[in-house]
Structures are given as structure tokens and as C-alpha cells.
Amino acid sequence: MSRETQVKDRAEQGPRNPGWAGETGDFPHLTESDVRGLEYVGLRPLDGGHPGASSSHPFHRAEKNPDAPLFEGPYKERLEKILSRYPEKRAALLPTLAMAQEIRGYLSAETMDEVAQALGLAPAYVRGVATFYTMYNKAPVGTYLIQVCTNVCCNLCGGDEVLEAFLDHVDAEPGEISEDGRFTVTAAECLGACGFPTVVQINERYFENVTPESVPEILASLRAQGTASVGQGSGVAQPATAPSDDAGED
């Protein structure tokens, strides 16, 4: 059976795994919204978010300010909390980079150098670490960073076609910002939700069982949200008011 036929068959069958079906198992007090909805991601626990949000780092805000100060005000406090969790500053590098990306949207060479200075590390060491991990953006991204899983499970179920559909609809190359500034589409390695292919992460939020046919609807819903972060409803926190997180950096 050809790949085209397989993908077409799958599209006709609909999602094989329905994903969330209201089954909460041992946690009947949780609602779908708690587990997967907007309540789950976007707000840190001390800011009223679900504790599970700590697993959704690094945050990708819809509004980004590449010139925002890195370690001032609440972010200075956050850095101190991060540092207090580790025996040496070097061990705090990953969460500090994640925080820098949360503030500025991506890690420029200058940002990496600022992080190096704050942690007393060699700039080359910090750049080596930051460029190793794909979760750190090394270039600016659009309001919505759309990461399409093209790893094995999703690939077998049409991940490449979903990626192609997103790129076609936003009219941009992989990694580019679309002309309206809203979207950047990239291919991602396994997003850890292999039972629900194709999986797409948009800012903090996961979309599961995505097909090429569902792409226009997803993009339309994002456009309708304006600049609100996918995971945050309308409450986009600014660096100056960022909450000091006690649960999210490790």
C-alpha cells in the first residue's frame, strides 16, 4: 500500500485514538479543562495556574520583547530561586536559559553572553549548551510557534503532510516568521504524546490527532485570539509583572 493511500485511508477513518474522552481514572476531581484545557498551561502555580503547568516549560509567550531586561525585578527574584536549588551555578544553566527565552522570545548571542555573565560561566560554554537543545530558539519566532511532530509515530500517520499544510497556509518556509508576524512553523522531534498522532505544540499548548484538514480551523482560531498566548487566554503576562515561580524551573 502506497504512503499516499495510507495517509488517505487514515484521514477517512478519522482519529484512531480519540484522546481525551472524559476518563479521569484515579482523578475524578479533574475536568478536561484541568488536564488539557487552558487552565492547564500558561499560568504558573503561584499565579493561579494548575501545578501541572510546571511541566510545560519553557514558556513561549505570544508577546515577546527582545530588548527586555533579563534579570530585573521579579526575574531577579526568579533567578535567585533557581540558583538556590542547585549546588553550583553551572547546574542552573538550562532553567536560566529557559527564563531568558521566556522574556525575550529567543536566545541571541548577546542574550547567551548575559546569561554566561550572570552565572559566571564561559560564553562559549553557554553557547555550546544553548545551541545543543532545539527547545531554545536561536532566532526570533512569530507570535505563535507551531511545532509539528514528524517523528516515527506521527510520521507514519501523516506528520509530514500536517507540516506541509501548516507551511502552505501560513505561506512561510520552516523556521521563518510569516509575513503577518503571527506564525513560525517548524518540524519537531517526538513531543511525547505518541498515542495521539499527529501532535502539534503551539506555544505551550498541545493539539492532538491533527490532520491536514484540521489545519485551517486551528489557524483560524489562533488568528481570532489576536495576540493572546495559546495557553494563557487573554492574560499575557509582561516581564515587569512576571510571577515568581516556585515550581516550574526544575
Binding residues for ligand FES, rule: CB under 6 A, are 149, 151-154, 190-194, 197, 199
In this complex, which beta carbon is closest to ligand FES, that of residue 208 or of residue 245? 208
DSSP 165-213: HHHHHHT--TTPBPTTS-EEEEEES--S-TTSSSPEEETTEEE-S--GG
C-alpha 157/C-alpha 16 separation (Å) is: 10
Amino acid at the residue 92? A
In this complex, which beta carbon is closest to ligand FES, that of residue 190 or of residue 247? 190
In this complex, which beta carbon is closest to ligand FES, that of residue 119 or of residue 167? 167
In this complex, which beta carbon is closest to ligand FES, that of residue 103 or of residue 193? 193
Is 146 strand, coil or helix? strand
C-alpha 89/C-alpha 97 separation (Å) is: 12
CB of 208 to ligand FES, least distance (A): 9
CB of 199 to ligand FES, least distance (A): 4
The residues pairing with 147 across neighbouring beta strands, listed in sequence order, are 186, 201
CB of 206 to ligand FES, least distance (A): 9
Is residue 159 a contact partner of residue 198, using CB atoms and an 8 Å limit? yes
In this complex, which beta carbon is closest to ligand FES, that of residue 112 or of residue 148? 148
In this complex, which beta carbon is closest to ligand FES, that of residue 105 or of residue 159? 159
CB of 192 to ligand FES, least distance (A): 6
Q: What single DSSP character describes residue 46?
A: G
User: Which residue, among 184, 209, 219, has the nearest Cα to 21 in the 3D structure?
Assistant: 209
CB of 200 to ligand FES, least distance (A): 9
CB of 154 to ligand FES, least distance (A): 3
State the CB neighbour count (10 A cutoff) for residue 13: 8
